[in-house]
Amino acid sequence: MSIFVGKDTRLLVQGITGRDGSFHTMQMVAYGTKVVAGVTPGRGGQKVEGVPVFNSAAEAVSKTGANTSVIFVPAKFAADAVYEAADSGIKLIVCISEGIPAIDMVKVVAYIKDKACRLIGPNSPGVVSPGEAKVGILPGHIFKRGSVGVVSRSGTLTYEIVDQITKTGLGQSTCLGIGGDPIIGTKFIDCLELFAHDKDTEAVVIVGEIGGRDEQDTAVYVKKHFKKPVFGFIAGKTAPADKRMGHAGAIISGTAGTAVEKTKAFEENGIKVGETPTDVAKLLKKHLR
């Protein structure tokens, strides 16, 4: 079993004819994902990697039965792409685009609350259920089917954590990056609610970073509601205050946003924290052996 994506995923790529869209379409097709359609306004009738291109998401969904969308659209058009996907009946929207203004995302998140869909991102590297489907830019070769769920605010740290888990001989059920922006569609707790009911997920790794207090809220949720073992890693221990580090949301604007405070919250609520990605994998191996 998997969460978010799987064998039943029928993927639509918004921005398929662009450099990133076309390259990652090739990678997703090679992984075995059912990429059934692409959208680029004015390019309808073309094909990319054998995938038909349509002028609108509504047309693509109507003609191919797409149920999932991945967005490779420049930031200034990305919010509109999310609206279009939601209005077309897409159930899962994965937004890879970064640099979308926070004010635009406030409006997007409010809008999709009334729609029967879920948004992951923006600034997400995507979602992988090993052996079933890959949606986004995550490198497929590092994943192995298994029982560890991984949810992260950081794309590259997701890769590192997953690679270390795989090298220990363990595998993953579903891995995703929720995005490092201040305003996102799916948070840690949303993912844990789904992992809790996934019979094939035995343990979960949470990869957090400086900025905000989502990790602290998640830690409290874990202690109160989540029964499976949870392991954590917090990036940004040496980050200076008031300086944005990489992601738009990775800025310490108070004591709650520091790596020290987040690590403390994890440990006080029963989440085992590794100092490095390798340490996290070792903790998992010890628990799941």
- pLDDT digit string, tens, across residues 115-149: 999 999 999 999 999 999 999 999 999 999 999 99
pLDDT classification of 39: cutoffs 50, 70, 90: very high
Q: Which residue has the tokens 């635009």?
A: 104
Average pLDDT for 84-108: 97
Q: What local confidence, expressed as pLDDT, does residue 249 receive?
A: 45
Q: What local confidence, expressed as pLDDT, does residue 250 receive?
A: 45
Q: Of residues 210 and 133, which shows the higher confidence score?
A: 133
The overall average pLDDT reported for the chain is: 93
Q: What local confidence, expressed as pLDDT, does residue 4 receive?
A: 97
Q: Taking Cα atoms as reference points, which of 47, 17, 11 lies closest to residue 31?
A: 11
Q: What local confidence, expressed as pLDDT, does residue 254 receive?
A: 54
Q: What local confidence, expressed as pLDDT, does residue 201 receive?
A: 97
Q: What local confidence, expressed as pLDDT, does residue 160 receive?
A: 94
Tell me which of 141, 225, 247, 287 is the catalytic residue.
Answer: 247
- Is 225 considered catalytic here? no
| DSSP secondary structure of the chain | --SS-STT--EEEETTTSHHHHHHHHHHHHHT--EEEEE-TT-TT-EETTEEEESSHHHHHHHH---EEEE---HHHHHHHHHHHHHHT-SEEEE------HHHHHHHHHHHTTSS-EEE-SS--EEEETTTEEEES--GGG--EEEEEEEES-HHHHHHHHHHHHHTT--EEEEEE--SSSS-SS-HHHHHHHHTT-TT--EEEEEEESSSSHHHHHHHHHHHH--S-EEEEEE-TTPPTT---SSTT----SGGGSHHHHHHHHHHTT-EE-SSHHHHHHHHHHHH-
Q: What is the rounded CA–CA span in Å between residue 95 and residue 108?
A: 12
- pLDDT digit string, tens, across residues 237-272: 655 554 544 554 444 455 567 888 999 999 999 999
Which structural domains are found in the chain, ordered by start?
11-120 (3.40.50.720), 139-288 (3.40.50.261)
Q: Quote the pTM value.
A: 0.93
Average pLDDT for 160-165: 96
